[in-house]
Amino acid sequence: MRISFEKSLIVSDAHIGIDNIGQNRRLIKRIIKESENFDKVIFNGDMLETWRFENFEWTSEGRTKKVKKIFDLYPDLYEFMKSDKCEVIVGNHDYVLTEFKELDPKKHIVLQWGNKEVYIEHGNNVAKETSFETIEGSEGFFVIFSVWLSSLLGVFVDKLSFLKKTFNKNEKIDVDKALNKIEYMFNDNTKMIDYIEELNKRVNSNMYIIGHTHQRTSKYLSDGRNLLITGKCTQSDFKGIELDTMKMSIKNFK
């Protein structure tokens, strides 16, 4: 899906579940308050945690029940996610949100940012064990296949509209210098970078914004395009990525 707006905040991997309720409520309040300064807030996957509590439920009913529990605990989060202010991209820990049609959940977004394109997805398809196909199981094969097919068609439609507009896809995006100085703290993002290199061949956007690894970093792909991994939107050190008109920076909310 292609969307266009001026100023957005991208957050991922908060893993809001039924534990740490007080902390979660504070984080949700912060996000909602901060959203007043943005056109859009993009939840880039795993903002909800549906795996960590109770027994893992493979049935659609069981997983849906878990999300309903979370929304019962944080009704303001549900209202926010339902609003036009929020774009919801699913991750592996909140994939079941695809069943909550009122939230208009997506597997990826192509964001038109000035004269450039930014491709945003959670990034869990990097590994087989966390890919959407595995989460769905074999029963969901045809669903996944048709989603895959429609996303291919979506990319095709995007390409057509690309021809009408005059994007310069080889133009680099200026990122805040601070983003390039971020060091890896734990294991590296090598696998993710390989995955995005492959994605870049198909998608051909100016920039990729990915979550999932919980490690914030900024990289150039082999053809010089930007890859930004948003890191974890934690409780005590809440960070998101701010996309302002032609400027990108990390937003640190204290």
Residue 52, both tokens: 């960590």
Least spacing, CB of residue 92 vs Mn ion, in Å: 5
Element spanning 41, H or E: strand 40-44
Applying CB under 5 A, the site for Mn ion has a residue count of: 5
Q: Which stretch binds Mn ion (CB under 5 A): 47-55, 151-159, 170-178, 207-215?
A: 207-215
Least spacing, CB of residue 43 vs Mn ion, in Å: 12
Name the residue nearer to Mn ion (CB basis): 6 or 188. 188
116 binds Mn ion (CB under 5 A): no
Least spacing, CB of residue 48 vs Mn ion, in Å: 11
Half-sphere exposure of 113 (CA within 13 A, CB side): 30
Q: Which stretch binds Mn ion (CB under 5 A): 28-36, 85-93, 232-240, 245-253?
A: 85-93
Give 134: exposed, middle or buried? Use CB within 10 Å, 0-12, 13-18, 19+: middle
Choosing from 212, 216, 225, 232, the residue that interacts with Mn ion (CB under 5 A) is: 212
- In this structure, the number of other CB atoms found within 10 A of the CB of residue 131 comes to 14
| Cβ-closest position to Mn ion | 212
92 binds Mn ion (CB under 5 A): yes
Name the residue nearer to Mn ion (CB basis): 46 or 121. 46
Strand segments, DSSP code E, in 178-246 are 207-210, 217-220, 226-229, 238-244
Instruction: Give the list of residues 6+ apart from residue 15 with CB closer than 8 angstroms, or none.
Output: 46, 47, 48, 49, 52, 93
94 binds Mn ion (CB under 5 A): no
Footprint of Mn ion (CB under 5 A): 46, 91-92, 124, 212
